[in-house]
Structure 1
Amino acid sequence: MAEIADLHESVDVAAPPERVWALVTDLPRMASWSPQGVRTFVRGRVGLGTRALNINRSGWKVWPTRSTVVRFDPHRDFAFRIKDNGVIWSYGLEPTVAGTRVTHRRETPDGILPISLRLQDAVLGGVDRFTGELRDGMRQTLGRIKAEAEG
C-alpha cells in the first residue's frame, strides 16, 4: 500500500458526548452530513464488527465502498475501515467544559491501496485534489453534526 498523510479536523460542540455519539454512530444518517456520502446500508445495530455498504459521490461520479466498524468505545472513539482502500474513518469525542470536542480523522495506518490511488488519479482529479475535497468534506460533515447536536 502507498504511504499518504492522515487527515484530521476538529470542532467544539455545545452538547454532551452522549448526544454527539448517537449522531456519529448513526451510519444510515451519515449521508445527511457528509457531502460525499449518498447512502449507507447497515444490517442490525451498529457496533464492533458491523459491516456496511456505502454509496459515495463526487460530481457525476458514483462508487460503492464496503466498511467494517473496527473501534467502538462508547462516547469516546468510533471508527470504520474501508475495505476497498484500507483507510480508517474515525470520530474521537473528548468532553470539554462546554460540551464535546469532536475530531474527525482519515487514518492510513497501512497506507492506501495502490488501486485506490490510481483511481483517484484517473477518475477523481488526482490524489491532491481528491484529498482537498475530503478535507473540505470533513469540515462540512463536522459543521452539520455540530448543528444537529446543538439544535
Structure 2
Amino acid sequence: MPNKLEASIEIAAAPEQVWSVISDFKRISEFSPQTLRMQPLGRSVHTGTWTVNLNKAKGYVYPTTSKVVRFEPNRALAFRMNENGTVWSYTLEPTDGGTRLVQRRDVPKGKLPGWLQFTIDKAFGGEQPFEGALVDGMHETLGKIKRTLER
C-alpha cells in the first residue's frame, strides 16, 4: 500500500475563500462522495478537535472518528483517523490566479492495520480498486469545491 495518495486542483479563489469551505466540516458531505457526515465535537474547530463521521464505500456505511492534528487558517488542515491511523489533509498554496488546493491521504506507519487490510481485500476487491476509488473520490471532492467557489 502506498504511503501517500494525493490529488490537487487550481481554484480561481483566494486562499481565505477556499479555507472557509474546507474548514467547515459540516459541509464535507456536499463535496466528498465517501463522507456522509463529519460532525466536530465542540464549539469551534482547532487542533485537537475530535469529529464523529459517517462514511460510505461500495455499498457499505460505517462510522469513524478523527482528531484534527493540524489547523493553520488559510494554509493547512489535517485530521487523523483514529481507527486506522491515516492522516487526511488539505494544503492551500496561493497562486497568481487564486489557490492550489492539495488533498492527501498519508499512512504514517507505512501500512494499515491487519484487520483493515483484510477488509479491503475481502469487501473492496483489494488495494488497487480501493485506493483507486479513494483517489477518484479526492478528484471529485476537489472538483466540487472548485465549482462551488468559482460560481
Q: TM-score normalised by the shorter chain: which range applies? A: over 0.9
Paired amino acid for 2:78: A
Q: Do the aligned partners of 2:15 and 2:94 also contact (CA within 8 Å) in 1?
A: yes
Q: Do the aligned partners of 1:84 and 1:116 also contact (CA within 8 Å) in 2?
A: no
Residues in 2 aligned to 1:20 and 1:113: alpha-carbon distance in whole angstroms: 33
- Counterpart position of 1:138: 138
- Counterpart position of 2:11: 13
Residues in 2 aligned to 1:116 and 1:90: alpha-carbon distance in whole angstroms: 20
Between Structure 1 and Structure 2, how many residues are aligned? Answer: 149
Compute the displacement of 1:71 (Å): 0.4
The TM-score normalised by the length of structure 1 is: 0.94
Compute the displacement of 1:125 (Å): 2.1
Q: Do the aligned partners of 2:3 and 2:108 also contact (CA within 8 Å) in 1?
A: no
What is the percent sequence identity of the aligned residues?
42
Secondary structure of 1:145's partner? Answer: helix
Q: Do the aligned partners of 2:88 and 2:105 also contact (CA within 8 Å) in 1?
A: yes
Compute the displacement of 1:59 (Å): 3.2
- Counterpart position of 2:124: 124
Compute the displacement of 1:148 (Å): 1.1
Compute the displacement of 1:50 (Å): 0.6
- Which ranges in structure 1 are unaligned for 5 or more consecutive residues? none
Paired amino acid for 2:146: K
- Counterpart position of 1:40: 38
Paired amino acid for 1:127: E
Residues in 1 aligned to 2:149 and 2:107: alpha-carbon distance in whole angstroms: 28
